[in-house]
Every structure is written in C-alpha cells, then in structure tokens.
C-alpha cells in the first residue's frame, strides 16, 4: 500500500504521550485534535500477516535538517503487539519501539525512543531518552481508568506558549517527569464525562482537565471543558493561564 500526500502517520501507542510518533505527535493539551493537519509524506506499507507489517515513511522538507524519514516493523508475540522503529528525525538518529498488551484484564503499554545528533547542528541537542509507560482498566460500571508515567531526559520545554502548540517526539513534555491519571465515565447513554490530572514534580505544577459531553441530537454533540494550571513562580507553566470553552459538533 502506497500513500502519497497529506496524511496522518500515527505510530503512537500510549494515550497521553507518544515518543514513537515521529510524524504526527499528539498534544494532550490540544482540545481540537480532530482538526489537526497531518504530514506531507510518502508512506509505503507491506503487510506480512494479520499482525505484522513493515512501513517506510518520508516527510521531506526544503532543508534536509527538517526532514523526517523512518522505518517501522510491527509484529505480535505472546499476545503483545510490538513495534520497532529506526530513522532520521530532523538531523538526529531516532531508535526505539513500543508495545501494547495486557496483564490479566489490565491493558499494559509502553513506548521508548533514543535520540542523538548526527554531525554538527545549529542547536546542539545532544542525546535524549524518552520513555512512557501506561496501564488502563475498564471497570464493570463502565468507568475507564488510565494511568501513565513519562520520563524525558532532556528535562522538557522551558515555556508553555499555546494550548495547541505542536510538541516534538524528541522532547514531548514540559518537565523531566510527568504523571497522568485520567477517568472517563458514561453517566447516561447521552451524557459522558472525563477528568484528567497531570502532575509535573520537577516543575512544581499541576494540571486538571475536566470535561463533559452531551448528545443533543443524533448528529449534534455539545462539549464543555476547562483546563486549569496550578503552578509555582518559576514553572514552565507560569504564563499558561486557565481556559474554559464549549463547542458544538455537527456530524453530517
């Protein structure tokens, strides 16, 4: 299968942080995710069996130092979906992989990537290891729980600029350590809610993200959410502020 043009190449596995996602990394703070553009890329997929495949993808840029090119090999072993990734990420070598499986009735996922500079660069980013581990569980009452931890050796971003700013897989967080808990619950067949909480120990910061969704009509949904930051004076989130927003989504 060959796909050429604007497309989404989503290699991420975890719910919140995806260092495996070299092409279209997802930002948990971006509440308008369905409208996020993809990458201008060439993608070749060869399916070896029902659970294994090889992918090659290239997203070219005017400058070679901004180009992304990588290969992925995915397979299943002992009930686990495993993927191995190697490639070129904006003048850096990227090597890593991830898995998705379960321990009993609990989902168990993880991603890890190693990045290092290739030759001289204007920004000497050095070597960085990014690793995320997550578990998820569906209770009998339909309460869905996700717990995730992220380690970013580079220490994260210095400043939080915009809720929709694009993160980078070689530095996908605003702190060295990040711990997330998220719960989702359908109160009725037409009303559902969720609450996410993230703590950033080395930034002395806390993030809360409550939201509620109501199906007004069969093709019309109403969403209400808030994003709240509680931060210290020298935190990367010191200029983030708080947000409350509502949206109507019409499917046609």
Chain segment 234-244, per-residue pLDDT in tens:
777 777 778 89
Alpha-helical runs (H) found in 31-154: none
The angle at the Cα of 114, spanning 109 to 119, to the nearest 5 degrees, equals 160
Q: Is 236 exposed, middle or buried (0-12, 13-18, 19+ CB in 10 A)?
A: buried
3-state secondary structure (DSSP) of residue 235:
coil
Where is average pLDDT lowest: 25-39, 69-83, 164-178? 25-39
Q: Which two tokens stand for residue 23?
A: 């092409």
Q: Which residues pair with 105 in a beta bridge?
A: none
Q: How do residues 114-152 score in pLDDT, each as one tens digit? A: 999 987 666 677 899 999 999 999 999 999 999 999 999
In this structure, the number of other CB atoms found within 10 A of the CB of residue 214 comes to 15
Q: Which two tokens stand for residue 181?
A: 């808990």
């Amino acid at each position: 299968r060959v796909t050429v043009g604007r497309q989404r190449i989503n290699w991420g596995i975890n719910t919140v942080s995806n260092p495996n996602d070299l092409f279209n990394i997802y930002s948990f703070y971006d509440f308008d995710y369905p409208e996020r553009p993809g990458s201008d890329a060439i993608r070749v997929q060869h399916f070896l069996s029902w659970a294994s495949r090889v992918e090659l993808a290239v997203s070219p840029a005017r400058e070679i130092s901004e180009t992304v090119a990588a290969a992925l090999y995915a397979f299943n072993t002992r009930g686990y979906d495993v993927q191995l990734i190697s490639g070129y990420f904006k003048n850096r070598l990227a090597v890593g992989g991830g898995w998705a499986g379960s321990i009993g009735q609990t989902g168990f996922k993880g991603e890890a990537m190693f990045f290092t500079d290739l030759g001289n660069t204007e920004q000497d980013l050095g070597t960085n290891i990014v690793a995320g581990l997550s578990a998820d569980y569906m209770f009998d009452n339909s309460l869905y729980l996700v717990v995730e931890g992220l380690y970013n050796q580079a220490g994260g971003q210095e400043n939080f600029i915009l809720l929709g700013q694009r993160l980078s897989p070689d530095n996908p967080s605003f702190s060295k350590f990040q711990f997330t808990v998220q719960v989702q619950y359908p109160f009725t067949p037409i009303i559902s809610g969720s609450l996410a909480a993230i703590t950033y120990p080395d930034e002395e910061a806390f993030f809360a993200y409550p939201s509620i969704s109501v199906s007004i009509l069969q093709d019309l949904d109403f969403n209400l959410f808030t994003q709240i930051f509680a931060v210290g004076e020298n935190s990367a989130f010191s200029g983030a502020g708080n947000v409350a927003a509502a949206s109507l989504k019409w499917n046609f």
